[in-house]
Homo-oligomer: A and B are copies of this chain.
Amino acid sequence: MSLIVQKFGGSSVKDAEHVMNVARVVTDTYKKGNSVVVVVSAQGDTTDDLIEKAAEINGDSLASKREMDMLLASGEQISISLLAMAIQKLGYPAVSLLGWQAGFKTTSSHTWARIRKVDTSRIKQELDQKKIVVVAGFQGLSRYDDITTLGRGGSDTSAVAIAAAMHADLCQIYTDVEGVYTADPRKIKGAIKLNEISYDEMLELATLGAQVLNNRSVEMAKKYNIELEVLSSLTQKPGTIVKERPKMEKMLISGVAKDTNVARISVTCIPDKPGLAFKMFSKLSARDINVDIILQSIGRDGTKDITFTVPKDKGAEALQIIEKFANDNGTGAVHYDDKIAKISIVGAGMETHAGVASTMFEALYNRQINIQMISTSEIKVSVLIDKRDADLAVEAIHDKFFPDND
């Protein structure tokens, strides 16, 4: 008997029919003698509907983040109770638990909280009674007893956190694709499904906008060595296993990813005082804004220019912070551009193969696509390009590395 954590996203539970389908997947697993904890997101468009309700009240002004969390957390409350009913309807025992009931203790950063710990006593107690436990993903409780949410992709993180805390044998992430592909299969015909992939490769793909798995969830899976499986809730075919040492598939790269949630900010003529760049970036990190690619160049007259990227949905907030910083520290002009895309290739294979980056650049050059910024790591090469060229770039690079699969 194994303990299996299964996570289903909003599109998998979008209406009664889909909820019943998920109930069948879950009970199939339970019938085989497994203990099952299910983590669910809010139904389909619920979150958007709730955000719309808030916008009707708030207009242009920003709603309190605490109240946004209170509002949004109602979404999973609906989906968990419906799924528990569906499982019971099929004749199996089930109980739904809100984030706080399932023991999720988080930081107090509303709309972007981090999990501090998961006290699994209630989950264990329900599993001991042979119940299928349905847990609200995405949400937890701060030390002030306020409802918090984990931000984008938070339900994946919830699932992995439970798997880690309970030492689960497997954590299955059900989604609307059949696994992890070398490129987005909806756009690139020759995209190949991977049977296995390493945490690090998955992490780069997740971070870089492949949008199959949330990066925080992969980081956590790697840290606690939780085996993940990404698979489809509709076909139930074997998906892609994410683990420490996958069977090498003799591929140079494991995927091409596109990320359009990127904005670029440039600050010119920063006085060359020690610690000033650090000060600037710490102001962003204090607001939980992640900085990705950073380019620094010496300007003139003992000043330097710094260009960096942030997630586009944090772009306006970041720009405000940087403009204040620029004003306070007497820098030159601040430039902002969010009509850009980041295209990346990821693969553990490239560590031992030279020329991977140049193959990528060649593919882009052949299609006359201009590269604005470049960033590399052991298993990744990213380039920043004009957003309009993004799909063409992915296709060109994929064709170059996987020529036989068109």
Instruction: Note all chain B residues with C-beta closer than 8 A to A122.
Output: 145
Q: Which of A30-83 contact B (CB under 8 A)?
A: 50, 53-54, 56-59, 61, 63-64, 66-68, 70-71, 73-75, 77-78, 80-82
A220 in the interface, Cβ–Cβ < 8 Å?
no
* Interchain CB contact under 8 A, B101 and A85: no
A278 to nearest B CB, angstroms? 35
A63 adjacent to B85 (CB under 8 Å)? yes
Which of A53, A70, A75, A89: most chain B Cβ within 10 A? A70
What is the interface of chain A mostly: helix, strand, loop, or mixed?
helix
Answer whether A64 and B82 are a contact pair too, CB < 8 Å, given A74-B77, A77-B70, A96-B70.
no
Q: Is the CB of A20 closer than 8 A to any CB of chain B? A: yes
Say yes or no: A64 contacts B88, CB within 8 Å.
yes
Chain B residues near A326 (CB-CB < 8 A): none
Copies in the complex: 2
Complex Cα gap A71–B43 (Å): 13
Which residues from chain B contact A78 at a C-beta distance below 8 Å? 50, 53, 71, 74
A75, B46: Cα distance in complex, Å = 13
Q: Report chain B residues within 8 Å CB of A73.
A: 77
Q: Bound state CA distance, A50 and B145, in angstroms?
A: 26
Known contacts A53-B78, A78-B74, A82-B57, A67 near B96 by CB under 8 Å: yes
Q: Does A318 contact B (CB under 8 A)?
A: no
A145 to B95, CA, bound (A): 13
Q: Is residue A230 within 8 Å, beta carbon to beta carbon, of the partner chain? A: no
A16 within 8 A of B: yes
**Which residues does chain B contribute within 8 Å of A101, judged by CB atoms?**
145-146
Q: Which residue of B lies closest to A96 (CB)?
A: B70
Q: Range of interface residues on chain A? A: 35 or more
Q: Give Cα A66–Cα B93 distance, bound, in whole angstroms.
A: 12
Would A81 and B71 be within 8 Å (CB), given that A16-B57, A20-B57, A122-B145 are in contact?
Answer: yes
A173 within 8 A of B: no
Q: Which residue of B16, B58, B96 contacts A56 across the interface (Cβ within 8 Å)?
A: B16
Q: Does A208 lie at the interface of the complex (its beta carbon under 8 Å from any beta carbon of B)? A: no
Least distance between A313 CB and chain B CB atoms (Å): 20
- Complex CA gap A243/B72 in Å reads 40
Cβ of A183 under 8 Å from chain B:
no
Inter-chain contacts of A81 with B (CB < 8 A): 54, 67-68, 70-71, 74
Chain B residues contacting A88 (CB-CB under 8 Å) are: 63-64, 67
A66 to B134, CA, bound (A): 13
State in angstroms the CA–CA spacing of A146 and B126 once bound together.
12
CB distance from A128 to the nearest CB of B (A): 15
Beta-carbon nearest neighbor of A69 in chain B = B81
Question: How far is it, in angstroms, between the C-alpha of A70 and the C-alpha of B64 when the chains are bound?
Answer: 25
- Tell me the complex Cα distance, A402–B368, Å: 89
Query: Which of A78-127 touch B at CB < 8 Å?
Result: 78, 80-82, 84-86, 88-89, 95-96, 98, 101, 122
Which chain B residues lie closer than 8 Å to A57 at the CB level?
16, 19-20, 82, 85-86, 89
Q: How far is the CA of A85 from the CA of B78 in the complex (A)?
A: 22
A81 to B77, CA, bound (A): 15
Name the residue on B nearest A54 (C-beta).
B85
**5 examples of A-B residue contacts, CB within 8 angstroms:** A57-B82, A61-B89, A67-B81, A67-B84, A101-B145
Please give 5 more A-B residue pairs, beta carbons under 8 A apart, in addition to A67-B84, A74-B78: A16-B56, A20-B57, A66-B95, A71-B77, A122-B145
